[in-house]
A = this chain, B = another copy of it.
Amino acid sequence: MTTAQLTSEIFKKKSFLCVGLDIDLNKIPESFLEKEDPIFEFNKAIIDATHDLAVAYKPNIAFYEAYGIKGWQALQKTIDYLNENHPEVFTIADAKRGDIGNTASMYARAFFEDMEFDSVTVAPYMGKDSVEPFLAFETKHTILLALTSNQGAFDYQTKVFEGKELYKHVLETSKTYANSENLMYVVGATKAEYFTEIRKIVPDSFLLVPGVGAQGGNLQDVCANGLSKNVGLLINSTRGIIYASKGEDFAVKAREEAQKLQTEMATILEANF
């Protein structure tokens, strides 16, 4: 999927919502635990209830790895279900991988070729030769961690060297990489005041923005400084949607929460484009 197609979907659905699919078996309705594949069945129910309101889905790979082989099978079924039934949605493997050249290529192959995700999140600590193997997949997108939503982001990411913060170096340096037009960046919603500075460096890039809802980030604040000329934002919500209820009405409640965000997004799009 190209970014132009993604932008087109955003205007069609009047939404730039990404739904996180981080499945914890302790948090889903008990009736699912009796099913053969509780994780996939829960994901399917969430996708069925929200796919007209969301433009992207983002399983965090940790939650699948934690369930071993069964987790990976559920992940494969989930991405297959999305690709077969909703090819218009943008899929993100939130894996935060980062390793040297030949190893990074193996990770890229796993997520882009075997699983057919549209994009994968990648950590920048190991530098250029850990990122470019992902960018070598020209029809895919590499989403680089820049400024994350957690408190630990202040440990290193905001430290200043050679006149600017580490996360700005990450943004600027990455623009020189081969196929850099396929880069997107993770910027936490909890850091809304940083978006103006970030847009000076990457005015047009898509930003994947976690941290709205449970982590305390605010949609209006992010949009005030983060919108680009092609929208350029994917706002992720996970717990606020998929765990809106632990009862049998979980899908109805998930849709309600997704609808609230989509309505707010439609108003923002109307006002800005």
Contacts and interface: CB of A to CB of B under 8 A. Distances in A.
A107 B114 CA distance: 21
Kindly state the interface size class of chain A when it binds its partner.
35 or more
Contacts of A68: 72, 76, 110, 114-115
Most-contacted residue by chain B among A131, A152, A169 (CB, 10 A): A152
A47 interface: no
A171 to B, nearest CB: 12
A152 B128 contact: yes
Contact of A96 (B60, B97, B173): B97
Nearest to A160: B161
Given A68-B114, A155-B173, A169-B156, A62 B126 contact: no
A101 interface: yes
A167 B100 CA distance: 17
B153 A127 contact: yes
Contact of A106 (B65, B97, B107, B150): B65
B73 A69 contact: yes
A116 to B, nearest CB: 12
A66 B125 contact: no
B98 A66 contact: no
A127 B157 CA distance: 8
A167 to B, nearest CB: 10
A118 interface: no
A22 B155 contact: no
A149 interface: yes
Contacts of A110: 62, 65-66, 68
Given A66-B114, A156-B170, 13 more contacts: A62-B99, A66-B110, A96-B99, A98-B125, A100-B152, A101-B150, A124-B125, A125-B145, A126-B152, A128-B151, A129-B150, A130-B150, A166-B166
A107 B62 contact: yes
Interface string A114-145: 11000000011111111100000000000001
